[in-house]
Amino acid sequence: MYCSKLFTRLKVKYRGNLIIQEDISTVMKFKNLFLGILIGILIGIILGVEIVHLAESRVCPEKYCIDSDYIIPVSDRGYFPRVHEILQKADKSIHIIAFELKYYTKYPKSKENILIQDLIEAHKRGVDVKIIVDEYSDENNAYSYLKENGIEIKYDSQKVTTHAKLIIVDNRIVVLGSTNFSYYGLEKNNEVDVIIYAKHIADYFEAYFQNLWKSN
């Protein structure tokens, strides 16, 4: 009788340990599964971040990257109204590097003449207007007319050709592209430009302008 009771107790105890061990085993399985899922998520996040960084580095490897909302592409006849408005609103500075700036006395209301007049009016209201141009362009150029109206102009070195078309306004707006202030540039040619609203971009090109200004 005593042995039977003892055997029963041992059996219950054994079964209890077995149940506990099974519970522990189940918990460990869930724990390992949870850790596996967590590690997988972390690895996915790390890989995702690295992929994004890699993509950004390929698209925009330099420190001058800016949001696309601050870049306005313009083409052909879209150049004049945009630049005309920007020049009219300038209140501090307009610095230009250009291959040529034309002025046609026979066509006072031509688009190129209007832009030249915008520069003169800006100078009259106290805006610092400076222009660097290529010395090659001569016929119908606006240089004498601009100088007569108080605008500073410098020619590039005869050793190089200045083919840039760059306008920096108030050290925060950059107009950059292929368009000259000329009849063909504003009325006939296929031209493309961008208008960039970003001070750090303007700072870069302003430094470039100042370097050329001092060296000519």
Give the per-residue pLDDT at 70: 86
Q: Find out whether 144 and 133 touch, Cβ atoms under 8 Å.
A: no
Residue 127 reports pLDDT greater than 60 = yes
Residue 12 reports pLDDT greater than 60 = no
Range 151-158 average pLDDT: 88
Residue 58 reports pLDDT greater than 80 = no
- Per-domain residue ranges for the chain? 1-61, 68-215
Which helix H or strand E contains 81, and what residues bound it? helix 79-89
DSSP 75-121: EGGGHHHHHHHHHHH--SEEEEEES-BB--TT-TTSHHHHHHHHHHH
Range 83-103 average pLDDT: 95
Give the per-residue pLDDT at 82: 96
What is the chain's length? 216
Please state which CATH number belongs to domain 68-215.
3.30.870.10
Which strand ranges, in their side-by-side order, compose the sheet holding 166-169?
71-75, 192-197, 173-177, 166-169, 93-98, 128-133, 152-155
Range 184-191 average pLDDT: 93
The token pair that represents 94 in the structure block: 């307009």
Give the per-residue pLDDT at 201: 92
Specify the amino acid at residue 135. Answer: E
Range 77-98 average pLDDT: 96
Residue 33 vs residue 132, higher pLDDT? 132
Range 86-110 average pLDDT: 93
Give the per-residue pLDDT at 9: 47
